[in-house]
Each structure stands twice: as structure tokens, then as C-alpha cells.
Structure 1
Amino acid sequence: MQGAFREHRFALESLGCDVTEVRKPSDLEGVQGLVLPGGESTAMAKLLQSDGLGDRIKQLAAKDLPLFGTCAGMILLAKDIDGSDQYRLGLMDVTVRRNAFGRQIASFETDLSVPALGSHPVRAVFIRAPYVAKVAPNVGILAEHEGKIVFIRQGNMLASAFHPELTPDKRVHEYFLKMVSEYR
């Protein structure tokens, strides 16, 4: 649709996946997992609403299709967006704060401890990133940065405030592909 979809495509193809770009509901036929990339969540929300794509994603999520949202994708997956009534899929039991680490100029990289991915830290790129302000008990916290939740999992859904597609480390994508494999 919009955002860092090419980078996710390259990461997934480097791991042996066949990748389909999704722009309309019919593009979802046969898809076994879906990545909602980083980008501009307001623009992406309008695209999701325009032709029923968001409704189709919600239907597939109800059938446990694995979903992975990064940055803006995390915002779109959240049930609540602090201070906003913007359209969202509302699938994850979390509240997010948009641009929570600051504007574009405040973007940064850091190493995150993600025990689910091993003992070696994950390089995380934060660009106008959100964070999770509130989680329900059914949401697993995979990583935090300075006390703020930045990587979560709820059942068939995974979300990160950072952009794993912008680093050579493919462990986050491998983790998502394991979820896809379990779904199949």
C-alpha cells in the first residue's frame, strides 16, 4: 500500500518466501501471512478503508491469519490510539502512542534485548516511532526500550515499534515466519 513494503519484501525473499504485494482485497487470496509495514498510518488507514481491504484483513485475522505490523503497522493493529480516533484495524488489545519518541529528527538506532530471539541483541531502527502505552493481560511483551514497550505478540499477531526490515538481522522476520509455519 504505502511505506517500507519493499524492504520487508527483500527481507522475506532473502529467507526463501514467495511474496505478494497487497493493495486490494483480492490480493489477499492464498496469503499465509501479512506484513503491515511502517509508513504514514493516516494515509494507510485511508487506503484500508477505501475498498474494504481493512474489513477483509479483519476477517482473515479472525481465522488466525498471522499479521505483523511495524511502526505504522503497529498503530493500525492497535485497538486504541492515544488521543486519536483515526481508523485502525483494532485487532490487538493495546493502546499505542503515535510519534512517541519524537519527530523525524529524533529517529535513532539502538540494540534491544529480545530474549525470544536469543541472547544476541537485535538492532532496532526507530523512525517517528510509536510505543505501547497499555497492554491487556493476553499480550506478550517481547521487548522494551527505556521502560517503553516496543515489541509485542498477541496470538497470531506480532507488532514492533521499530523497523527490523532496515537492518541485515533477519531474526524478527524469521520469528514471524515461524508463526506463519504454525498457522499452515
Structure 2
Amino acid sequence: MTSPNIGVLALQGDVREHVQAIERLGVRAFGVRRSEEVDRCDGLIVPGGESTTMIKLARVFGVLEPIRRGIADGLPVFGTCAGMIMLADRLRDGADGQETFGGLDATVRRNAFGRQVDSFEADLDFTLFDDPVHAVFIRAPWIEEVGPGVDVLASVPIADGPGSGDHPTDRIVAVQQGPMLATSFHPEVDDDLRLHRHFLDIVSEPLETR
């Protein structure tokens, strides 16, 4: 079987870490900055960074619309932290007029964790795996609502914050919708490659089964 071409959006953020994670799994990865590089992708990773900066640069570099078209055509995409924001159809606490690539039927609150507890780490129970995933959250978003086609993979209980009232509320931090995978945290900074391997499995699935 031919090895898939995995692109990492290389406008800003944790590009190198994602490239290294994919290559540790024996698959070639490359930075994406141009529309023709989007066209080469069998799968695309949208890394953490600063979402408002990334979307502006995506337009400047001419990859905004090609990525949107790719998502609409079923391109597998993995968004982490700011990448989750970039994939969301709906934002809360976004910058005025902030655009996204879209495609993920979810409402994401930008910088939701960062306003209260800043960076933190947690071991998360994942529906995909038998053992917990160690997650690093850095000024992270969370998901407040998902559509019917979105599978929730992991959540964390939050005792305070927007919409939680006086009681702990499970905040969604990892989801999958067809060939789209998104996490609030940064799996690329840990040695655990299970989520990157899961994304490669998604990429390898026949288009009709996604």
C-alpha cells in the first residue's frame, strides 16, 4: 500500500512537532503553505497556535478556500487546540468577524480553559482506547455543543466557567465527525502517538466508508 501524504498547515503554531509525530509512525509529512500543497494532501493536520493569526495567514497564502473545498470533498483533517477552533462551524468568544475553515458541526468556545486555569495537564478516558490519554492543555478551547453526526471521544469536568453554573459540567475536548478529528489539547507534545495513529487509520479508510 502506498504511504499517504500527510500535510501539516505550516502558517504558524506547532508544525514541527506534528511532522515529527507522523514521521515517527513511518509516514512522510510535509508543511502546507500553498494551494498546490493542499491538493497533494491525503490528510491534513491543523496545529495549535493562534487561531485569528492562522486564519488571516490562510487567506494571505491562498489556502483558505482550497482547504474549505477539501473538507467539503471529504479530506481527512485533524485539528488540535487552535486547529479545533479553525474547524468549527460555530464560535463563541471569537474575535469580531473571525472566520474558520468549518466543516465540524460543533460550537467551540475560544480560549475557554485559558481564562480560568491557564495551562494544565490531565489523564483523559477516551472512547477509542483502553488506557487514558495524557493531555496537555494550553489556553485551550472546549466544545459546548455538537451536532448529531459528531462522536464525543473525551470530556473533562469543569466546576466553573461559562455556562457551568454552580455544578461541574463535562466539557467536550475531543470529537470525531466522519474523517474529521479534533482535540482541545496538544497530543503532539507527548510521546503517546495513538491519536496520530488513529488519524492515519482514518486517512487509510476508503472514501466510501468515511
Q: Which residue of 2 aligns with 1:177?
A: 200
User: Is 2:93 aligned against 1:93?
Assistant: no
Q: Which residue of 2 aligns with 1:8?
A: 18
CA distance 1:89–1:97, change in 2 (3 Å): same
| Higher deviation after alignment, 155-164 or 76-85 | 76-85
Conserved in 1, the CA contact under 8 Å of 2:58 and 2:64? yes
TM-score between both structures, scaled by the size of structure 1? 0.95
Higher helix share: 1
Task: Write the letter of the residue equivalent to 1:109.
Answer: E
Q: Which residue of 2 aligns with 1:23?
A: 33
Measure the CA separation in 1 of the matches of 2:116 and 2:206: 36
Aligned-pair identity (%):
48
CA distance 1:31–1:69, change in 2 (3 Å): same
The partner residue of 1:138 within 149, 160, 166 is 149
User: Is 2:175 aligned against 1:164?
Assistant: no
Q: Which consecutive unaligned segments of at least 5 residues does structure 1 have?
A: none
CA distance 1:27–1:113, change in 2 (3 Å): same
Shift of 1:162: 0.4
Q: Of the two structures, which has the highest relative contact order with CA contacts closer than 8 Å and spacing of 6 or more?
A: 1
CA distance 1:104–1:168, change in 2 (3 Å): farther
Q: Which consecutive unaligned segments of at least 5 residues does structure 2 have?
A: 1-10, 158-169
For 1:65-118, what per-residue CA distance to the aligned partner results, in whole angstroms no more than 9, with x for missing partners? Answer: 1000000000000011113331111211111011111249720111000021x2
TM-score between both structures, scaled by the size of structure 2? 0.84
Larger radius of gyration, structure 1 or 2? 2
The partner residue of 1:65 within 67, 75, 91 is 75
Conserved in 2, the CA contact under 8 Å of 1:65 and 1:183? no
For 1:123-172, what per-residue CA distance to the aligned partner results, in whole angstroms no more than 9, with x for missing partners? Answer: 00000000001111111100001110000011110100000001000000
Shift of 1:50: 1.6
Shift of 1:121: 0.4
Conserved in 2, the CA contact under 8 Å of 1:64 and 1:183? no
Across the two proteins, how many residue pairs are aligned to each other? 183
CA-based RMSD of the aligned residues comes to: 1.4
Conserved in 2, the CA contact under 8 Å of 1:96 and 1:133? yes
Conserved in 1, the CA contact under 8 Å of 2:33 and 2:61? no
Conserved in 2, the CA contact under 8 Å of 1:104 and 1:127? no
